[in-house]
Amino acid sequence: MNLAGIFSDFKDGKKIDRPTMVRVLEDVFRTLIKKKFGSDENFDVIVNTQKGDLELWRVREIVSDGEVTDDRSQISISEALAIDEDYEIGQECYEQLFLEDFGRRAVQAARQTLLSRVQELEKDEIFSTYSERIGEVVTGEIQQILKKEFLVKVEDQDKKATELILQRTDTIRGDFFRKGDYVKGIIYKVETRNNAPAVFMSRTSNLFLEKLLEAEVPEIQEDLITVKRIVRMPGERAKIAVESHDERIDPVGACVGMKGTRIHGIVRELNNENIDIVNYTNNASLFIQRSLTPAKVTSIDLDLDRKHANVFLDPDQVSLAIGKSGTNIKLASQLTGFEIDVFRNNQEYEIDDVNLNEFSDEIEAWVIEAFKAIGCDTARSVLSLSKEELLRRTDLEEETIDEVVAILAAEFEDNNN
């Protein structure tokens, strides 16, 4: 019985190990036997997966004519001799069965069952294989563009293709893909969706950035440099803390590369995401100072118990410390684990200016905090900015801005009278 012709639509190209295929084939045909004969106890199913051959044998004890008490396990001598004239009473009779013996409908049902079983095995294989590949960077071709996700074809070493899912929430700012484009991402989870394995890839994961850096920096692969922490606002900015295990190696310089050759490729892959790489240290004050790069910090007051830091900078450094839409200070806080407030250096502060906290009876605390978040901790620092700038940087309502400005301006008018 040749399986290649009957089951060729599933047999060829299926990445299923031989023992598993044999087991499935045996199970399917034993089920076929049970339906026809009521039991499979006296049947042998022999599978040759290399040749695509399957043999079915019915085995029964030969007894004298008229002494058959169980036709499932016994056969009369006259019936046995019709199969092979050399049989004798007491021997086992081997009778070969063929597909046509089961009928067309039964064979078709077995075929459908086999296809279903193989499909389930393939699903299990995909789930198992890609669960082991979580954290691996892959490149695939955009096959289909849907409303909330992209379907990406990824091939393994055996050229076997699997469709991965890249959700739009896992893409970064500036990503724009057409069908046929190639996209790189990291496998970050495998789950079951609609009774089938769903493999998800991401471009926003911190691990994706770490793997890209690792691929560009041999010292990381050789464990001479360790990536201690990564924080990201995908497509906007990222901060990476690295540490060297060899005093002769500058970890930041090694990661950036000569004239930025190593980091530039990563920046391009991430659509020009700004990447700051800093030396990791256990010195909290120094680590905070480094994390606020490119701003230059004058001094820092730490509260280790509250994990809070007041950072003082020259006026022209405040905006650098905060960054566009507050990205720099937010990422610095995440990288260091400290809540960071920035303050302007002002030697004339006590005489010529007023701390915003002094207005807490007139201005709500959360509004004051919104101004502090952009480096405006005094009345004059707020008044020095235009209304348009305050609206853009604080996200406060225009009415609120007007009220605050009026209160602060009145303070200096009163002092001048």
Quick one: 163 and 265 in the same domain? no
Which of helix, strand or coil describes residue 97? Answer: strand
Distance CA 77, CA 187 (A): 65
For residue range 43-86, list pLDDT tens digits in order: 888 877 666 667 889 899 999 998 889 888 899 999 989 988 88
pLDDT class for 138, splitting at 50, 70, 90? very high
Residue 340 in any domain: the answer is no
Quick one: 118 and 161 in the same domain? no
Comparison of pLDDT for 259 and 152, the residue scoring more: 152
Which pair of tokens denotes residue 9? Answer: 């639509």
Using left for φ > 0, alpha for ψ between -120 and 50, and beta otherwise, residue 87 falls in beta
Domain residues for the domain of 191 are 133-204
Residue 13 in any domain: the answer is yes
Quick one: 237 and 196 in the same domain? no
Q: Among 179-188, 325-334, 368-377, which stretch is predicted with the lowest mean pLDDT?
A: 368-377
The pLDDT value given to residue 114: 77
Quick one: 118 and 137 in the same domain? no
Judged against a pLDDT cut of 80, whether residue 97 lies above it is answered with yes
Quick one: 164 and 253 in the same domain? no
The pLDDT value given to residue 15: 56
Quick one: 119 and 36 in the same domain? yes
Quick one: 101 and 8 in the same domain? yes
Residue 39 in any domain: the answer is yes
Residue 235 in any domain: the answer is yes
Which of 99, 128, 157 lies at the terminal end of a domain, its last residue?
128
Quick one: 149 and 114 in the same domain? no
For residue range 379-405, list pLDDT tens digits in order: 888 888 888 888 888 888 999 999 999
pLDDT class for 350, splitting at 50, 70, 90? very low
The pLDDT value given to residue 369: 86
Quick one: 14 and 78 in the same domain? yes
Which of 147, 169, 204 lies at the terminal end of a domain, its last residue?
204
The pLDDT value given to residue 11: 47
Judged against a pLDDT cut of 60, whether residue 12 lies above it is answered with no
- Please say whether the beta carbons of 55 and 63 come within 8 A: no
pLDDT class for 178, splitting at 50, 70, 90? very high
Q: Averaging pLDDT over each range in 24-28, 68-72, 87-91, 390-394, which range is the top one?
A: 87-91
Quick one: 87 and 163 in the same domain? no
Quick one: 115 and 230 in the same domain? no
For residue range 262-284, list pLDDT tens digits in order: 999 999 999 999 999 999 999 99
Mean pLDDT of 199-219: 95
Mean pLDDT of 208-236: 94
CATH of the domain at 246: 3.30.300.20
Q: How many domains does the chain have?
A: 3
Per DSSP, the residues of 327-374 read HHHHHHHHHHT-EEEEEE--TTHHHH--BGGGGTTTS-HHHHHHHHTT
Residue 416 in any domain: the answer is no
- Cβ atoms within 10 Å, residue 271: 16
Residue 249 in any domain: the answer is yes
pLDDT class for 148, splitting at 50, 70, 90? very high
Quick one: 23 and 53 in the same domain? yes
Judged against a pLDDT cut of 80, whether residue 364 lies above it is answered with yes
CATH of the domain at 149: 2.40.50.140
Which of 212, 164, 172 is closest to 188 using CA atoms? 164
The pLDDT value given to residue 352: 57
Share above pLDDT 90 across residues of the chain, in percent, rounded to a whole number? 44
The pLDDT value given to residue 414: 57
Residue 288 in any domain: the answer is no
Residue in the block written with tokens 């979580």: 134
pLDDT class for 348, splitting at 50, 70, 90? very low
Residue 262 in any domain: the answer is yes
Q: Among 122-126, 185-189, 277-281, 397-401, which stretch is predicted with the lowest mean pLDDT?
A: 122-126
CATH of the domain at 75: 3.30.1480
Residue 214: exposure state from Cβ atoms within 10 A (0-12, 13-18, ≥19): middle
Which of 157, 179, 204 lies at the terminal end of a domain, its last residue?
204
